[in-house]
């Protein structure tokens, strides 16, 4: 049960911060009485956030209504909060997988809707949940993500959360130096930006960790820091009587193993350093330990030593608490004379501290009054100076008025002329740009007509070759076969072979001029056919088609095929390559084409005037794209083409 209490406190600190707790009835009335949808949503979120901290199931009934309301208002910030609240409730019930699902849903919503300031807290919650599930690597990853998110969104006041999470991960892994480093960084940020509750919680837990690790040097500094924290904004009586440090730890954890030995070792260490404050602090802890074990005499002995050392160290609040404990212990042991003496000392100290506090308050009020009086005198003097200055300024205003008017008029005229000139220049620039655009459109139209004409001519020639010359060669082949001699005739065989080769060449030329695969199977089929032709010529060709559109317009598909056909022809003719990569990737309305070979390469700055490259450039411009050649002599060539699709 005590450890569960510690974990609940930790969850409240890191997963959602400390929320001002209002009674459930009051929050419920606000939610039910709210008229405006935004007010009802905000009140509902406050109520839903209240329930998980009380382990109430009502939050899971309320959240679906709030999500529907947030969705109708398009309030994605509130929608994210509903998932964070649900995740916290599931976390507190040890339903960690379900909690992670809620936190990741919140993360996706924050990314989708650009709510970057939410990401740091979400990542912290995910890291905390992974840490509780003993997934330390995942926890550390999300704490690092939280640190980056807080930094990018300008939230230094929240950076303590991932730092403290990293410190606890390192504590669990036994990496003491890193644990202390990140713990101190978290405390520094909390001291500057954090709330009192978060600061006190981390300070307490970190203090206990240093004690358990016997890090007495760091512990001494932290003892002073914790004492200053406990005395801040507290009445004297409250400071004198509040429980402290390890006494609270014993109550929460029931873990007293080896505490006596460690405290005695710490007392000896601080005694050797002549550090009465830290020594007294540990003596007070040891006295609390003996009191919890009902060793009343030893407890009185160490409380007495502690109050003496606190007096030497000039810490009256700590001494007062020890005196009060001595009074209670002496009374328990029926040592009424000693109890009366301790109580008298405690009351004298308490009265002196209260008088000191009253004197400090009086001095503050007196300083404030004197400051206000001086400020009033200064305001009177400033008013007198202002009146004299106004009189002098009135005399100057008349003479300067005409000068200023004339200067302003001249400047306005000059500015108007300058603006008119700038406007005329802008209009001329727009007109020039329009003319240039029309010229480009005219060039593209001419280029389009030329390419369409070429394709139509190719189609006609391919058809004539296939139907005319192809059919004629087939007829010649049939007639020639009738003259086959009875005996083997080399001349006949050679002529027959030439006729067969002519038929193959005619079909290849017709196919290259108008590939049938492009008409039957579209661009993917035509490219597979082109890759097959390259393999037949001895090249190792790898074709990769990724996310191509199902249908491309005919002219566009034909132009892409012609570009790749021209590139592969150049590779076969000039590159002396052994392998070829053809890659087409369609992403976000852009088609990226990569053709790469391992041939001998060339210098693109010198060899760029060929007919093939000019044809490629014309077709790329026709498709309103861009292309580039990356080639070094001896190291192959890569051509990249980007086309809007």
* Predicted pLDDT at 268: 86
Query: How many CB atoms are located within 10 Å of the residue 133 CB?
Result: 16
Under the banding of pLDDT at 50, 70 and 90, the label for residue 248 is very low
User: Which of 597, 644, 603, 601 has its CA nearest to residue 620?
Assistant: 644
Under the banding of pLDDT at 50, 70 and 90, the label for residue 642 is very high
Query: How many CB atoms are located within 10 Å of the residue 457 CB?
Result: 11
Considering 35-44, 100-109, 167-176, 455-464, the range whose residues carry the highest mean pLDDT is 100-109
Six-digit token pair at 117? 């300031």
Contact indicator for 206, 176 with CB cutoff of 8 Å: no
Q: Which residues contact 468 (CB under 8 A, 6 or more apart)?
A: none
- Three-state DSSP state, 593: strand
Q: Please calculate the CA angle 492-495-496 and round it to the nearest 5 degrees.
A: 85
Q: Is 455's pLDDT higher than 50?
A: yes
Under the banding of pLDDT at 50, 70 and 90, the label for residue 7 is very low
The interaxial angle of helices 245-253 and 2-11, nearest 10 deg, is: 120
Q: Is 527's pLDDT higher than 70?
A: yes
Six-digit token pair at 522? 């579209």
Distances in Å between the Cα of 157 and the Cα atoms of 111, 222, 228, 440 are 22, 21, 21, 56
As a whole number, mean pLDDT of residues 64-88 equals: 87
pLDDT in tens, 388-435: 888 788 888 877 877 887 788 778 888 888 888 888 888 888 887 777
Cross-sheet strand order for the sheet of 637-644: 540-546, 579-587, 590-597, 637-644, 626-631
More confident site: 630 or 292: 630
Bridge pairing between strands 626-631 and 590-597: unpaired
Listed in order, strand segments (DSSP E) in 196-303 are none
As a whole number, mean pLDDT of residues 32-52 equals: 74
What architecture is domain 522-644? 2-Layer Sandwich (3.30)
Q: Which residues contact 107 (CB under 8 A, 6 or more apart)?
A: 119, 122, 123, 126
Percent of the chain scored above 70 by pLDDT? Answer: 73
Q: Is 352's pLDDT higher than 90?
A: no
- Three-state DSSP state, 641: strand
Six-digit token pair at 612? 């093939």
**How far apart are the two ends of the chain, measured CA to CA in Å?**
64
Q: Is 57's pLDDT higher than 50?
A: yes
The interaxial angle of helices 611-622 and 336-464, nearest 10 deg, is: 120
Considering 89-98, 141-150, 202-211, 344-353, the range whose residues carry the highest mean pLDDT is 141-150
User: Which of 591, 534, 545 has its CA nearest to residue 567?
Assistant: 534
Distance CA 172, CA 170 (A): 5
The interaxial angle of helices 119-132 and 136-152, nearest 10 deg, is: 170
Contact indicator for 608, 639 with CB cutoff of 8 Å: no
Q: Is 523's pLDDT higher than 50?
A: yes
* Predicted pLDDT at 507: 62
Under the banding of pLDDT at 50, 70 and 90, the label for residue 2 is very low
Least confident range from 17-26, 180-189, 408-417, 477-486: namely 17-26
User: Which of 163, 208, 148, 193 has its CA nearest to residue 3?
Assistant: 208
Provide φ and ψ at 228, rounded to 5°: -65, -40
pLDDT in tens, 596-609: 999 998 888 776 55
Q: Which helix (H) or strand (E) holds 67?
A: helix 58-72
Percent of the chain that is helix, strand, coil (3-state, to 5) = 75, 5, 15
Contacts 24+ apart (CB under 8 A), 626-630: 629/604, 630/604
Domain ranges (residues) in the chain: 1-114, 522-644
CA 574 remoteness from chain centre: 50
Q: Which helix (H) or strand (E) holds 582?
A: strand 579-587
* Predicted pLDDT at 428: 84
HSE at residue 643, side-chain half, CA atoms within 13 A, is: 23
Instruction: Please name every residue paired with 631 in a beta bridge, in sequence order, or none if there are none.
Output: 637
Q: Which helix (H) or strand (E) holds 591?
A: strand 590-597
Provide φ and ψ at 60, rounded to 5°: -75, -20
DSSP 559-580: HHHHHHHHHHHHIIIII--SEE
* Predicted pLDDT at 478: 63
Distance CA 518, CA 525 (A): 6
Buried b / exposed e along 326-335 (16+ C-beta atoms within 10 A): bbbbbeeeeb
User: Which of 121, 124, 223, 218 has its CA nearest to residue 169?
Assistant: 124
Least confident range from 67-71, 281-285, 387-391: namely 387-391
Q: Please name the residue that has the structure tokens 């429980």.
A: 243
As a whole number, mean pLDDT of residues 616-639 equals: 89
Q: Is 179's pLDDT higher than 70?
A: yes
Helices H / strands E in the chain, number of each: 24, 5
> What is the overall mean pLDDT for the chain?
78
pLDDT in tens, 535-551: 998 999 999 999 888 77
CA 401 remoteness from chain centre: 58
Q: Is 247's pLDDT higher than 60?
A: no
Contacts 24+ apart (CB under 8 A), 47-50: 48/82, 48/85, 49/16, 49/19, 49/81, 49/85, 50/19, 50/21, 50/22, 50/24
Considering 27-31, 188-192, 488-492, 591-595, the range whose residues carry the highest mean pLDDT is 591-595
């Amino acid at each position: 049960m005590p450890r569960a209490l510690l974990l609940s406190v930790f969850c409240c600190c890191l997963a959602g911060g400390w929320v001002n707790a209002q009674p459930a009835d009051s929050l419920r009335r606000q939610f039910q009485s709210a008229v405006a949808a935004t007010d009802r949503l905000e009140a509902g979120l406050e109520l839903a956030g209240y329930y998980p901290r009380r382990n109430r199931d009502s939050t899971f009934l309320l959240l679906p209504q709030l999500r529907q309301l947030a969705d109708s208002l398009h309030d994605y910030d509130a929608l994210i909060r509903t998932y964070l609240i649900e995740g916290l409730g599931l976390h507190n019930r040890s339903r960690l997988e379900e909690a992670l699902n809620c936190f990741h849903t919140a993360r996706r919503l924050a990314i989708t809707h650009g709510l970057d300031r939410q990401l740091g807290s979400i990542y912290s919650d995910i890291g905390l949940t992974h840490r509780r599930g003993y997934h330390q690597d995942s926890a550390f990853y999300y704490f690092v993500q939280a640190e980056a998110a807080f930094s990018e969104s300008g939230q230094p006041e929240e950076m303590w959360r991932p730092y403290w999470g990293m410190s606890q991960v390192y504590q669990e892994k036994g990496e003491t130096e890193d644990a202390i480093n990140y713990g101190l960084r978290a405390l520094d940020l909390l001291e500057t930006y954090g709330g009192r509750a978060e600061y006190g919680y981390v300070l307490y837990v970190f203090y206990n960790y240093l004690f358990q690790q016997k890090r007495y040097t760091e512990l001494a500094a932290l003892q002073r820091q914790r004492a200053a924290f406990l005395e801040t904004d507290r009445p004297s009586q409250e400071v004198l009587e509040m429980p402290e440090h390890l006494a609270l730890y014993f109550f929460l954890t029931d873990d007293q193993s080896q505490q006596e030995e460690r405290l005695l070792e710490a007392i000896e260490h601080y005694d050797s350093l002549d550090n009465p404050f830290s020594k007294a602090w540990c003596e007070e802890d040891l006295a609390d330990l003996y009191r919890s074990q009902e060793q009343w005499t030893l407890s009185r002995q160490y409380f007495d030593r502690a109050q003496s050392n606190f007096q030497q160290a000039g810490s009256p609040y700590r001494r007062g608490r020890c005196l009060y404990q001595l009074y209670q212990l002496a009374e328990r042991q029926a040592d009424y004379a000693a109890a009366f003496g301790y109580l008298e000392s405690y009351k004298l100290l308490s009265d002196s501290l209260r008088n000191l506090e009253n004197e400090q308050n009086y001095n503050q009020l007196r300083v404030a009054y004197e400051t206000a009086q001086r400020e009033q005198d200064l305001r009177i003097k400033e008013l007198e100076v202002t009146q004299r200055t106004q009189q002098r300024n009135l005399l100057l205003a008349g003479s300067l008025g005409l000068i200023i008017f004339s200067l302003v008029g001249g400047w306005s005229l000059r500015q108007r002329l300058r603006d008119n000139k700038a406007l005329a220049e802008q209009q001329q620039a727009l007109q020039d740009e329009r003319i240039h655009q029309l010229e480009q459109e005219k060039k593209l139209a001419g280029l389009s007509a030329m390419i369409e004409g070429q394709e139509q001519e190719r189609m006609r020639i391919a058809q004539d070759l296939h139907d005319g010359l192809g059919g004629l060669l087939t007829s010649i082949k049939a007639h020639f076969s009738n003259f086959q001699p009875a005996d083997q005739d080399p001349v006949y065989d050679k002529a027959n072979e030439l006729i067969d080769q002519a038929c193959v060449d005619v079909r290849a030329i017709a196919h290259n001029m108008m590939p049938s695969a492009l008409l039957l199977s579209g661009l993917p089929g035509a490219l597979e056919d082109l890759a097959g032709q390259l393999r037949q010529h001895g090249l190792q060709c790898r074709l990769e088609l990724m996310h191509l559109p199902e249908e491309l317009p005919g002219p566009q598909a034909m132009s892409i095929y012609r570009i790749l056909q021209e590139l592969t022809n150049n590779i076969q003719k000039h590159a002396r390559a052994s392998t070829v990569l053809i890659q087409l990737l369609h992403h976000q309305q852009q088609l990226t084409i990569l053709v790469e070979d391992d041939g001998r390469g060339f210098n693109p700055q010198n060899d760029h005037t060929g007919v093939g490259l000019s044809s490629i450039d014309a077709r790329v411009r026709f498709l309103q794209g861009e292309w580039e050649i990356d080639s070094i002599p001896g190291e192959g060539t890569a051509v990249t083409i980007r086309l809007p699709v």
